[in-house]
Chains A and B, each alone.
Chain A
Amino acid sequence: MSEQVFEATIAKDQRIEPRDWMPEGYRKTMIRQIAQHAHSEIIGMQPEGAWITRAPSLRRKAILLAKVQDEAGHGLYLYSAAETLGADRGDLTRRLIEGRQKYSSIFNYPTLTFADVGVIGWLVDGAAICNQVPLCRSSFGPYARAMIRICKEESFHQRQGYELLMTMMRGTPAQREMVQDAVNRWWWPSLMMFGPPDAESPNTAQSMAWKIKRHTNDELRQRFVDMSVPQAGALGVTLPDGDLRWNAEREHYDFGEIDWSELKRVISGDGPMNRERIAHRRRADEQGAWVREAAAAHAAKRQGVPA
């Protein structure tokens, strides 16, 4: 009976809500996907956060601060969505810092210059937008609603990054070189953000059937490439791929082979910054513990309950 209701709800393109009956596999997949997404937003504060104190002007500092604060907010919307399925926020954080749950591979690369801040906004947030817009129609209600809030905010992220890069491109030859260097380093990892190729993505079929996912990894990756090429042209940078060219027959850009061994390496913990990202998150959790405990004790005292 309840399984029929679930299937019928999905078939009618309606949303599943937290207290509805759902298959165990759906619940598990949903918790894992939302948690990984939340972790990505939280860890994703680090690469750009590192530049807040070194932003070249008060304007850029205020923008970057607002953007990084948004990413914290995205993480919190998503942890809140995961909790509607019975997950516990503290437990999810422990899974992250103990390496038992993953986050997006992209945040394991270093931000070497301020141009990286612009390229992250343009390409990394751009890829995130490609991924996230279809998720606004994901079948799980709280996740879809969180994605709608997030997508509204992402557009600012991408535009501030692109504007930053346009400003640098109008600057000195050294600044233009800095932008090109950042593009060279971030282009391929951005393509990897869409995950393994469809042929090696065993869970895609089930996620599509449950309408958790609306497009395959390769479809979204192609969409991102098609959007980015003209943007690179307008900016005046070259995307580091000799095989990139318009295919009139397919009406898409062809692009070169992605180094999947690199993605595997970074996902399994061996990227340039994996250890540092997790160590930083663990430190923040440990150093914040006394604040959380003191606030809880204060609240208990004011209520007249012994802590």
Chain B
Amino acid sequence: MKADIILSGVGGQGIVSIAATIAQAALDNDLFIKQSEVHGMSQRGGAVYSHLRISDKPIASDLIPMGSADIIISVEPMESLRYLPWLKEEGWLVTNSIPFINIPDYPDLNLLHSEIEKFPNHILINADEIARQVKSPRSSNIVMLGAASPFLEISLENFEQAIKKIFGRKGERIVELNIQALHAGREFSLTHKEIK
């Protein structure tokens, strides 16, 4: 088993929690992990990404080589396209459809969506709305994790366990809300991934 994952978004959108949850789930499965993330300057509302690699064999590089990521998981549509050179030919592009606009020259959203829709293997999901539907508006990042989960060889139970570990400190209610967000995101992808 081997998965090379690129996570992307804007500083402060919570891609670190997605990465931490996947890494925890992988660790519980006795898999090898390398997860590189961005700290410092670019965190202030700038573009941020993380390379997450999991495998049943030891992993050499902390960075994913170009053209070899299995999946890009993005909490922001424009950011999902920034790391395309890393995606492999048959890789999946899984992204939130709701933009985070903090620059004056943000591109036309319809154009962005149509760029994303060009990919045969894409999931474009309104994670913000789904998070609101499950009454956890802050969990759109975990909705995205749920949406990506069918493409990762890690069981749903493993993800649930990982969420319990990562969010446990914040109380049972937060754990419950995040698990619902996970399920809702997953459900969306399971129903949409066959329709091309």
Do A and B interact? no
Q: Which residues of A contact B (CB under 8 A)?
A: none
